[in-house]
Structure 1
Amino acid sequence: MIIHKHIKYLFILLLLHLSHNLVAQMGEIESHDPSTIQKDGNTYWIFSTGNGIKATYSSDLENWKISAKTVFQKDSFPNWIKEYVPKFQGHFWAPDCIFMNGKYYLYYSCSSFGASQSAIGVATNQTLDPNSPQYKWTDLGLVVASKERKDFNAIDPSILKDKQGKIWMTYGSFFGGIGAVELDSASGKIKSGESIKKVAGGRESDWEASCLIQEGEYYYLFVNNGLCCKGLNSTYYIVCGRSKNPLGPFLDQIGKDLNAGGGTIILRTEGKFQGPGHVGLLREKGKNMVSIHYYDADDQGKSKINLVEMIFKKGWPYFRRK
């Protein structure tokens, strides 16, 4: 009987351990470069950097699970990528997701660390629920590529559908700076006849992980300065500029252009939240909820997701943690 009790006790401990691994609070989920949160039915989804593109989901924005299915099968990816990024091995970076035309469009980055030879692709799906019979990612191929260091490095896409129904993409990292361009709302690719315009950074300075949003009469461009991906040695912080035109110029609070090194600091390291970055906006129940990643100083610098609320004062955004 005593042995049976011990077995029962160990079984309960095992269940608790498995439950903890399957369901975790927002601050316990390891993730890097989270996408804009999308809601499909009653479920919220975040896509993030990883082999095949990592997917994480929640029903309440607090308790999260990692999906067993990645967007692409691990260690397998569309053949076209090798043409543009020969060294690519299946570890996708910094995806972003938007719902339009009755589908979810997932934009993703293909590159290697420190390289300017990169590409952004896009895939679509009618649902984000892997258990749905309609669940199937269809890759649409290349959106934009980069090769030389003077180019806008083709990583870190951020997609906005504005109040006029136009679709905009900002992207870039170091090298040529941050580029912005209008997309065709039907194809999801760059609109015919449109050229990419520099809206921040350049001269190989530390600008990346952009995010374009619209609030009132302004477009706001959030960008990361500093260095990522170094755990507790990461120096990421978030700056912002605004413009009445989605192609800029974006000016900070003192009127300095982000193309000339301007940028009002919005969020920097606070306590355990080291190197915050990669803004995504979810408008939910009258609130502006911003998803970011940070490096957890209380957990060996592991990269995790955090939600902060964004409010506006006198036309400028401020982030505050709940």
Structure 2
Amino acid sequence: MNTTSTLLLARVRAGRHLTWRALRLLALLLALTAGLSFQASALQGNDNCHDPSTIVKDGNKYWIFTTGTGIYAMYSTDLVTWQSGPRPVFAAGSYPSWIQSKVPGFTGDFWAPECVYRNGKFYLYYSVSTFGSNTSTIGLATNVTLDPANPNYQWVDQGEVISTTSSSASNAIDPAVVTDASGGLWMSYGSFFKGIGLIKLDGLTGKRSGTSFSWLAGNVAADGVTRNNSGSEAPYIVRNGSYYYLFINKGACCQGSSSTYYIQVGRSTSITGPYLDKNGVDLNKNGGTTLIATKGNYVGPGHVGLFQENGANYLTHHYYDSNQNGRARLSVGNMGWDAAAWPFITRDWLAAGRYTLANANSGLVWDAWGCTGVQGQAIAQGTSTPA
């Protein structure tokens, strides 16, 4: 893993002109390869982030919701420079009152939100718990806009989706929502306490529909014995082709540079599983193919989300930066699919090919007219000549 995860040039295609935004990013990459001191490929602005939701877009802004007091929000207009939202989802002292009966002593630190857009509004799922406990609950709030300046901006809490107690087999945290091939809505969730679960949601209300439940990962040991502590959490399901792909986390989070989080994946032809890794081992029996793990100062990657736009697959996750005292930060990678239909993560946002860099306003292009190869010569700008 390297910081080119944030070079968002996936909209570019060979033979097409680059916009000034893409030109700026490419110029930064060129500067990096030239050995300049700044990190050209790093996200800009405030990229503090833990347990990021999937990116969701409203108007010209991309939003991510994360673990934090009242549910922290951050936004970007270019997927590179991020800023803190002007206010949390829930103001201090105005948290949904029903939460106290589910998680006594809750003080406002919401975990691992997930946001999806459907039915003309945004559905924001959030989890409430305390560290090391499965006395937890997942709630839902809705809003017709994510723009706090919009007069229609108002988060309306819809109440409980699912709760667990100390006697429950599962743990109601880390919600993630997926639509199946038939249009059905599902939510995966869970952490450590016997593994990852899946429930059906009502497509209109976004709340639980019926009592169906499926174990997806971490429920039993390799010898078939039910586990009490699975070590699996932060599930996320992606549908691609004829498969559903389940991303999960293993290891320990929330310990800064000492975190041991890593991301694994398995796949199934059914939304309810079984999910098998590349070796055919069930994720319910300690299977899992590792997709991203600690590398260099990028420690404990976790909590996958996938945003798709214009043919690009923006895979988000957090990591702990050991160069910054274990600060939790956002990373964005480019997810692709290999010949066997397994996902892979690349930091290369430019496909092979010949590119033209053009000013979107004047139409003038960059070229090497007059260059003799001497170091430091300027790149020329002029009228494009057809190849």
State if a TM-score over 0.5 links the two structures.
yes
Q: Which has the larger radius of gyration?
A: 2
Alignment partner, residue 99 of structure 2: 81
Q: Are 2:215 and 1:198 equivalent residues in the alignment?
A: yes
Residues paired across the two proteins, number: 298
Q: Are 2:312 and 1:287 equivalent residues in the alignment?
A: yes
Alignment partner, residue 15 of structure 2: none
Q: Are 2:271 and 1:246 equivalent residues in the alignment?
A: yes
Shift of 1:149: 5.2
Alignment partner, residue 379 of structure 2: none
Q: Call closer, same or farther: CA 1:163–1:59 in 2, change over 3 Å.
A: farther
Distance 1:57 1:123 in 2: 19
Shift of 1:234: 0.2
Q: Are 2:189 and 1:171 equivalent residues in the alignment?
A: yes
Secondary structure of 1:132 counterpart: coil
Q: Are 2:137 and 1:119 equivalent residues in the alignment?
A: yes
Alignment partner, residue 322 of structure 2: 297
Q: Are 2:319 and 1:320 equivalent residues in the alignment?
A: no
Q: 2:54 aligns with which of 17, 36, 60?
A: 36
Aligned residues with identical type, % of pairs = 49
Secondary structure of 2:100 counterpart: helix
Q: Are 2:131 and 1:106 equivalent residues in the alignment?
A: no
Distance 2:288 2:44 in 1: 29
Residues 109-132 of structure 1: per-residue CA shift (max 9 Å, x gap):
000111110000000000000000
* Letter in structure 2 aligned against 1:117: T
Alignment partner, residue 19 of structure 1: none
Higher RCO (C-alpha 8 Å, min separation 6): 2
Distance 1:74 1:159 in 2: 27
TM-score normalised per structure 2: 0.75
Secondary structure of 1:212 counterpart: strand
Shift of 1:272: 1.6
* Letter in structure 2 aligned against 1:49: T
Shift of 1:287: 1.3
Higher strand share: 1
Distance 1:273 1:151 in 2: 33
Distance 2:99 2:105 in 1: 10
Alignment partner, residue 60 of structure 1: 78
Moved over 3 A (4+): 24-28
Distance 1:114 1:276 in 2: 20
Q: 1:223 aligns with which of 229, 248, 256?
A: 248
Higher mean alpha-carbon deviation, 216-225 vs 282-291, is at 282-291
TM-score normalised per structure 1: 0.90
Q: 1:261 aligns with which of 286, 297, 300?
A: 286
Distance 1:302 1:149 in 2: 34
Distance 2:45 2:183 in 1: 34
* Letter in structure 2 aligned against 1:249: P
